[in-house]
């Protein structure tokens, strides 16, 4: 059992501390089974294993927002740990590791980043000195240290990405089609098509099974056909997919009749892929073939069946269209789901298994949606996103990023893990720097886009949906309102894209974060 003391801002034992997006991590950094509760000022973690574990949970981080953060690996003990001390310890350790890995110590002691790091370290040392004599004072100092450490790590990620991005542009290694956007196939306004043609390098074309075949054996091709003809006429590069996803938003209702009959499901998947790829093979050159099979939360597949479906789907696309790029989509890439679903496969393990199994795919799509209180969409800071991407460098496959955050607070959907009916909506999913708004959405695009495109193995970023609509997986995440008026984030993404395609290494306005808080005397 692990216990963590939590204090409120007045230095008293907290009377409440919602345990949102809380899970345990093992030594291999995968989620592990356990029960996490809050009892009288203490977060209590009941583990099913005796080994050391880390706690991850959504936690307030001052001016940096409300984010999912984690502790170091900790052994069990009777005495509770101080939550803020352990969160600050892990973030400082990660910060110094990145400073060393990225050789950023030589930026000089007068650099603002180094000053922030020194402040965070000093506050953390003070907290360690106080944690026995005055736990409340130690908690306050650790909270300030944590805030500065998060701010410093985000600034480090941005500063490092600026160097790498300028180098990538200066050496001519920027991809030819770096920035794209998706549109629901039913959207067909001339303003939408002209905007895509003028402002984006490629089109992400959804082909949801549910919409194509709402009834078994009956296909409704018209909306996708219309877009396919437009793409072919304008010679617009396109990534189409996912062809197969067992998420309820994508899978037709009639398929659930066969959810316990793997052989029948496999045959239906084969038939569907064959129809879709054959119909659009003269238009689509990159297929997002399977999405989120590793999560395995809606159909009762076993490990061998998950890998067999992946292998069969990729091989079939390659058979029908040998020259097509075959992509595999990773959803919920931080892997929280594995702690509650042992039939699933952790995302990085799934990626590694694809490589080890010699499945002949050409790259990954990483789908990263944040800003809604549902599994996989709780808010993370940008250093965590940078670290996540770095894990994929060892697989030797290019990465395509599919992104979205909302432009305003998102009301929890039915069935989401809302703890208290009076909780502020923003706090349910967390937020980055400030509660979600059009300016925050625009700044997030700029910062995360720069970090992503600075990675030499990332070949594109695409915004998930251009236009807000009622059926969106992440409400209010479009770049354009449903009345087709532009949001601030549309202009921000277009400016970012124009900067990437400019020849001068300094032509794109480099991303900046708000000023760091000043340490108290």
Q: Name the pLDDT band for 415 (thresholds 50, 70, 90).
A: low
Task: Indicate if 233 and 302 belong to the same structural domain.
Answer: yes
- Per cent of the chain over pLDDT 70 is 93
In the numeric block, the tokens 């900067």 are attached to: 499
Choose one of 132, 163, 194: the last residue of a domain.
163
Distance, in Å, from the CA atom of 208 to the CA atom of 221, rounded to the nearest integer, reads 11
In a domain, 53, yes or no: yes
Residue 439's Cβ-count burial label (10 Å; 0-12, 13-18, 19+) is middle
Task: Indicate if 182 and 328 belong to the same structural domain.
Answer: yes
pLDDT in tens, 472-495: 999 999 999 989 899 999 999 999
Tell me, what's the pLDDT at 519?
41
Task: Indicate if 107 and 214 belong to the same structural domain.
Answer: no
CATH number of the domain enclosing 220: 3.20.20.80
- Counting the structural domains of the chain, the total is 2
Task: Indicate if 201 and 150 belong to the same structural domain.
Answer: no
Tell me, what's the pLDDT at 292?
93
C-alpha atoms less than 13 angstroms from C-alpha of 442 in its C-beta half-sphere? 13
Strands in 52-116 per DSSP E: 54-60, 65-70, 81-82
Strands in 97-210 per DSSP E: 179-182, 202-205
Mean pLDDT of the chain, nearest integer:
90
Task: Indicate if 327 and 228 belong to the same structural domain.
Answer: yes
pLDDT in tens, 199-246: 999 999 999 999 999 999 899 999 999 999 999 999 999 999 999 999
Tell me, what's the pLDDT at 515?
57
* CA 162 vs CA 44, 76, 146, 305: distances in Å: 41, 41, 24, 43
Residue 107's Cβ-count burial label (10 Å; 0-12, 13-18, 19+) is middle
Domain that holds residue 55: 2-163
Distance, in Å, from the CA atom of 31 to the CA atom of 23, rounded to the nearest integer, reads 7
* CA 397 vs CA 315, 361, 366, 392, 407: distances in Å: 17, 9, 12, 8, 32
Give the pTM.
0.92
pLDDT exceeds 50 at position 157: yes
Task: Indicate if 193 and 219 belong to the same structural domain.
Answer: yes
In a domain, 328, yes or no: yes
pLDDT exceeds 70 at position 418: no
pLDDT in tens, 286-311: 999 999 999 998 888 999 999 999 99
pLDDT in tens, 451-470: 999 999 999 999 999 999 88
Q: Name the pLDDT band for 508 (thresholds 50, 70, 90).
A: very low
Q: Which long-range contacts (CB under 8 A, 24 or more apart) does 91-98 make?
A: 91/120, 91/146, 91/149, 91/150, 91/153, 92/120, 92/121, 92/124, 92/145, 92/149, 94/153, 94/383, 94/387, 95/120, 95/149, 95/152, 95/153, 95/156, 98/153, 98/156, 98/157, 98/160, 98/383
pLDDT in tens, 19-52: 999 999 999 999 998 999 998 899 999 988 888 9
In a domain, 464, yes or no: yes
In a domain, 169, yes or no: no
Distance, in Å, from the CA atom of 164 to the CA atom of 158, rounded to the nearest integer, reads 10
Tell me, what's the pLDDT at 518?
41
Tell me, what's the pLDDT at 521?
32
In a domain, 81, yes or no: yes
Task: Indicate if 144 and 180 belong to the same structural domain.
Answer: no
pLDDT exceeds 90 at position 417: no
Closest alpha carbon to 242 in 269, 260, 223: 269
Distance, in Å, from the CA atom of 95 to the CA atom of 89, rounded to the nearest integer, reads 10
Task: Indicate if 186 and 231 belong to the same structural domain.
Answer: yes
The residues, any chain, with a CB within 8 Å of residue 213's CB and separated by 6 or more, are 219, 220, 252, 272
pLDDT in tens, 161-181: 999 999 999 998 999 999 999
In a domain, 508, yes or no: no
- Per cent of the chain over pLDDT 90 is 77
Task: Indicate if 148 and 183 belong to the same structural domain.
Answer: no
First to last CA, the chain: 38
pLDDT in tens, 92-147: 999 999 999 888 766 766 778 889 999 999 999 999 999 999 999 999 999 999 99
Choose one of 163, 190, 219: the last residue of a domain.
163
Distance, in Å, from the CA atom of 470 to the CA atom of 281, rounded to the nearest integer, reads 30
Angle, in degrees to the nearest 10, between helices 262-280 and 303-320? 20
DSSP letter, residue 215: B
Distance, in Å, from the CA atom of 455 to the CA atom of 436, rounded to the nearest integer, reads 26
In a domain, 507, yes or no: no
Task: Indicate if 113 and 247 belong to the same structural domain.
Answer: no
As beta bridge partners, residue 238 has: 203
Task: Indicate if 301 and 349 belong to the same structural domain.
Answer: yes
In a domain, 196, yes or no: yes
pLDDT exceeds 50 at position 504: no
Q: How many helices (H) and strands (E) does the chain have?
A: 13, 18
Task: Indicate if 48 and 107 belong to the same structural domain.
Answer: yes
Region 9-18: mean pLDDT is 85
Distance, in Å, from the CA atom of 316 to the CA atom of 129, rounded to the nearest integer, reads 62
Task: Note the Cα 464 to chain centre separation in Å.
Answer: 12
């Amino acid at each position: 059992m692990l216990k963590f003391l939590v204090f409120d801002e007045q230095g008293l034992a907290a009377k409440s501390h919602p345990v949102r997006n809380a899970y345990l991590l093992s030594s291999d950094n995968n989620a592990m089974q356990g029960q996490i509760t809050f009892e009288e000022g203490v977060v209590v973690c009941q583990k099913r294993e005796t080994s050391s574990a880390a706690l991850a949970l959504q936690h307030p981080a001052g001016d940096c927002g409300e984010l999912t953060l984690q502790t170091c690996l900790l052994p069990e003990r009777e005495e509770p740990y101080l939550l803020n001390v352990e969160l600050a310890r892990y973030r400082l350790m990660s910060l110094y590791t990145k400073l060393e890995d990225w050789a950023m110590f030589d930026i000089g002691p007068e650099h603002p980043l180094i000053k922030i790091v020194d402040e965070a370290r000093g506050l953390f040392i003070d907290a360690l000195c106080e944690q026995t004599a005055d736990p409340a004072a130690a908690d306050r100092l650790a909270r300030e240290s944590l805030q500065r450490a998060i701010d410093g790590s985000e600034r480090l990620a941005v500063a490092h990405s600026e160097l790498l991005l300028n180098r990538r542009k200066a050496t001519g290694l920027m991809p030819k089609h770096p920035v794209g956007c998706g549109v629901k196939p039913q959207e067909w306004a001339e303003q939408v098509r002209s905007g895509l043609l003028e402002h984006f390098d490629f089109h992400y074309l959804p082909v949801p099974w549910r919409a194509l075949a709402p009834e078994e054996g009956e296909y409704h091709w018209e909306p996708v056909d219309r877009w396919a003809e437009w793409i072919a006429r304008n010679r617009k590069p396109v990534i189409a997919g996912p062809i197969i996803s067992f998420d309820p938003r994508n899978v037709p209702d009639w398929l659930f009749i066969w959810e316990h009959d793997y052989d029948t499901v496999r045959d239906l998947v084969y038939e569907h892929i064959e129809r879709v790829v054959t119909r659009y093979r003269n238009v689509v050159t990159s297929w997002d073939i399977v999405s989120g099979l590793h999560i395995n939360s809606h159909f009762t597949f076993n490990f061998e069946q998950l890998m067999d479906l992946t292998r069969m789907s990729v091989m079939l696309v390659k058979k029908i269209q040998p020259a097509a790029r075959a992509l595999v989509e990773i959803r919920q890439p931080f892997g929280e789901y594995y702690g509650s679903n042992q039939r699933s496969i952790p995302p990085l393990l799934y990626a590694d298994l694809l490589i080890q199994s010699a499945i002949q795919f050409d790259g990954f799509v990483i789908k990263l949606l944040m800003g809604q209180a549902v599994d996989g969409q709780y808010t993370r800071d940008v250093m965590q996103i940078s670290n996540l991407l770095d894990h994929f460098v060892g697989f030797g496959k290019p990465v395509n990023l599919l992104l979205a955050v909302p432009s305003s607070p998102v009301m929890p959907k039915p069935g989401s893990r809302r703890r208290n009916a009076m909780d502020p909506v923003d706090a349910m999913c967390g937020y980055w720097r400030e509660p979600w708004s059009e300016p925050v959405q625009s700044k997030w695009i700029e910062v995360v886009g720069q970090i992503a495109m600075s990675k030499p193995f990332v070949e594109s970023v695409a915004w998930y949906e251009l236009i807000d609509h009622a059926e969106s997986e992440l409400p209010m995440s479009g770049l354009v309102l449903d009345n087709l008026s532009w949001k601030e984030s549309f202009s921000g993404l277009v400016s970012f894209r124009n900067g990437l395609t400019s020849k001068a290494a300094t032509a794109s306005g480099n991303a900046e974060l708000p000023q760091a808080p000043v340490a108290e005397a």
